Amino acid sequence: MRNLHSATKVEGRMSNAPSKVSRCRIPLRGSLLLTLVVTALAGCQKAPRDVAPSAPPPIDEARIAAAESNSEWLSYGRTYSEQRYSPLKSINTDNVTQLGLAWYAEFQADRGMEGTPLIADGVLYDTTSWSHVYALDARTGAIKWHYNPKVDGQKGKDACCDVVNRGVALWKDKVYVGALDGRLIAIEAATGKEVWSQQTTDPSWPYTITGAPRVVKGKVLIGNGGAEFGVRGYISAYDAETGKLAWRFYATPNPDGKPDGAASDKVFAEKAAATWSGSGWKKTGGGGTPWDAIVYDPQTDLVYVGMGNGSPWSHVARSDGKGDNLFLSSIVALRAETGEYVWHYQVNPGESWDYTATQPIMTADLTINGAKRHVVMQAPKNGFFYVLDAVDGKLLSAEKFVPVNWAERIDLATGRPVENPAARYPNGQRATVYPGAAGAHSWTPMSFDPVAGLVFIPAMVTSQNYQHDPNWIFIKGSWNLAQDGSSSGAPRIAPARNPSPLAPPNPPPTVNGLSMKAGQLIAWDPVKQEARWKHTQDSTFAGTLATAGGLVFSASGRDLSAYASKEGTKLWSHRTAAVIIAPPITYELDGEQYVAVNVGFGSVAAMTRGAYPRRPGRLYVYKLGGTATAPEFAPSFPRPPIDVASATASVGNVVRGGQRFYKYCVYCHVGGVYTPDLRTSPYIMTPDSFKSVVHEGALRARGMANFSELLSESDVEDIRAYLLQEAGK
């Protein structure tokens, strides 16, 4: 097939891709799914005769459950278990060297590409930055429709980690996407037309949605993000047909002390509210935002939700340093129908490091000590790999998968960490803690090969300096971490200035105190709780995919690669035009197996590390013998320095400007192209041009927010004075 570098030009042209997914083709494999398969088969037998034999069954619970043993990719983690393991093996260790590009598509999006494409009935559903949704012919890449939710560029300010989106959910005749601005939107799968839209968050607070919805029992489940700024996290369930709110479960107590009328009221009244002290959390909402993992398990009929970090980060500022602060940093198990609390496991009681438990969760069956156990597995930011009993949440095991110094171990009797007291940066002390806020593992999905018995973790070695900020004052809509001098003007992520009370093991190079160096692809044995093999990756790397072909796919830098699952030998690699962070997927059509991956750098790293230009996001799709090519992007060059001498001199206060810069600007504008280094910005040449952007929103459509609610005109000119000084250096 030809490459589709003109794909965007065919937008709006409706293709009539034939559907080849045959009804009732549900291979019997494994006993676990027998009940569901029998149910599905029963449904087939009852199919009315006037339904064409090629008409696919609706995407519902039975079809998603049946996908455990077939080649479909209908939900974010492929199936309800979210193992990202495909039984497809046409592409395998013997022939993967013949893998070549089948086609590629290019999107109208120039920020991070984090999405997991879904495949149903010959159509591939993908998302890009700013929550756009695309439907493509999965055989050719022809774009069937493109849905733009028209998110206001002002929301870019509220996205800690880029204006990304990780994917859609499918249910019956609709596609569901969570938009960055907090809307949950139902789209007609056939046409791309909006069916309903619900604002799931209070727009006056800096909530965002970047994660994929999941649909369970006719309800669309969606969480939110924003804990770095200060919001109160929760997960909601909406009726898939009507968009009506079905239930909501909060991660933190109501600051008013009143019931919410929500599913979480009972457990907060009984035990969770008592784990909070002080008043800091009452200003921010406490955080706990569930921005990624939402996993339904048909076997236990529970939904496992990964809750986020505390807001502010400092436990002292948030809760007077007292209490576990439920349900921050917790996996919470809820009844899918009602949102009723069943159990929780908190990975970090009294969270104080941005250690979320939002990282991808999967369910699996493991044989532990000779007994078959149905488990929940997670590798959260804090660097321990957790195996929990899926029925009651009991901790079965937890071991470090990267260097960790905040805790010695997890006590299996109590389920609680045995912490290093210095890691809590007490008494104003600074502590260098492993992992840092970027985490040992973040949103990039891991995969599990049940045959090899290995989980493939896209991990990283990170560290960070933490220090409580006694001068923290809550400012709604701004960063609220209560860290270091972030309130008074020092860098938010502080460079190491003093010897740390914690001696870090093997310190890697750091950027702004945050190590982004060592990406690691780790093949982890979840039973033995040890690494079988590992590869050091580029500092940029992607999520993983495991297949029955004995392969694990992942990317490092611009290279998509396939490794032998059992030994870790690299068998195949292809260099794309840009850095890949998205997880690969695989699917089969007309007997041909494809591997697909979104290409385009983004996320927090792209915003803070600079060397990555904005380029159109792409989707690369591979097959055996594929011969298509995709052109390189034109080279980009750093912007030349500005001529400070010809700039209009500023009457602003340089010191105050530096403080404002470090409080409001530095997080995105520490240098580079993706979010520009302001020292080289032509907009700082005159007071009016700088004000037009920062105070009037001239570049709002590009995602540069109008900061007039947080900065006065004189603040803006002070920042310009500081930037001119820095540009002169």
Q: Contact residues for Ca ion (CB under 5 A)?
A: 309, 354
Q: Which is nearer to Ca ion, 353 or 690 (CB)?
A: 353
Q: Which is nearer to Ca ion, 380 or 687 (CB)?
A: 380
Residues 6 or more apart whose CB falls under 8 angstroms from that of 351 comprise 309, 310, 313, 315, 325, 328, 329
Q: Can you tell me the distance from the alpha carbon of 20 to that of 385, in angstroms, rounded to the nearest whole number?
A: 40
CB of 369 within 8 A of CB of 376?
no
Q: Which is nearer to Ca ion, 309 or 329 (CB)?
A: 309
DSSP assignment, residue 729? -
Q: What is the CA radius of gyration of the chain?
A: 25
Q: Can you tell me the distance from the alpha carbon of 592 to that of 72, in angstroms, rounded to the nearest whole number?
A: 13
**93 three-state secondary structure:** coil
Residue 159 forms beta bridges with which residues?
none
Residues 6 or more apart whose CB falls under 8 angstroms from that of 674 comprise 111, 601, 602, 606, 607, 609, 610, 612, 613, 614
Which residues in 293-308 are b (16+ Cβ under 10 Å) and which e?
A: bbbbbbbbebbbbbbb
The first and second tokens of residue 387, run together, are 């195996």
Q: Which three-class secondary structure string do you get for 89-117? A: CCCCCCCHHHEEEEEEEECCCCCCCCCCC
Q: Can you tell me the distance from the alpha carbon of 211 to that of 223, in angstroms, rounded to the nearest whole number?
A: 7
Smallest separation, CB 14 to Ca ion (Å): 41
Q: Which is nearer to Ca ion, 309 or 378 (CB)?
A: 309
Q: Can you tell me the distance from the alpha carbon of 165 to that of 150, in angstroms, rounded to the nearest whole number?
A: 14
Smallest separation, CB 564 to Ca ion (Å): 35
Q: Which is nearer to Ca ion, 354 or 484 (CB)?
A: 354
Q: Which is nearer to Ca ion, 225 or 568 (CB)?
A: 225
DSSP states of 384-423: EEEEEETTT--EEEEEESS---SEEEE-TTT--EEE-GGG
Smallest separation, CB 445 to Ca ion (Å): 18
CB of 618 within 8 A of CB of 630?
yes
Smallest separation, CB 438 to Ca ion (Å): 10
Smallest separation, CB 442 to Ca ion (Å): 9
Q: Can you tell me the distance from the alpha carbon of 624 to that of 594, in angstroms, rounded to the nearest whole number?
A: 8
Strand 183-188 and strand 194-199: the pairing is: antiparallel
**67 three-state secondary structure:** helix
Smallest separation, CB 620 to Ca ion (Å): 30
Q: Which is nearer to Ca ion, 309 or 447 (CB)?
A: 309
Smallest separation, CB 431 to Ca ion (Å): 18
Q: Which is nearer to Ca ion, 309 or 556 (CB)?
A: 309
Smallest separation, CB 539 to Ca ion (Å): 20
Q: Is 583 left (phi over 0), alpha (psi -120 to 50) or beta?
A: beta
Q: What share of the chain is helix, strand, coil (3-state, %, to 5)?
A: 15, 30, 55
Smallest separation, CB 52 to Ca ion (Å): 49
Identified catalytic residue from 126, 292, 354, 559: 354
Q: Which is nearer to Ca ion, 208 or 547 (CB)?
A: 208
Closest listed residue to residue 344, CA positions, set 305, 291, 310 = 305
Q: Can you tell me the distance from the alpha carbon of 222 to that of 178, in angstroms, rounded to the nearest whole number?
A: 7
CB of 624 within 8 A of CB of 593?
yes
The first and second tokens of residue 84, run together, are 């990202």
For the question of residue 324 being annotated catalytic, the response is no
Active-site amino acid positions: 354
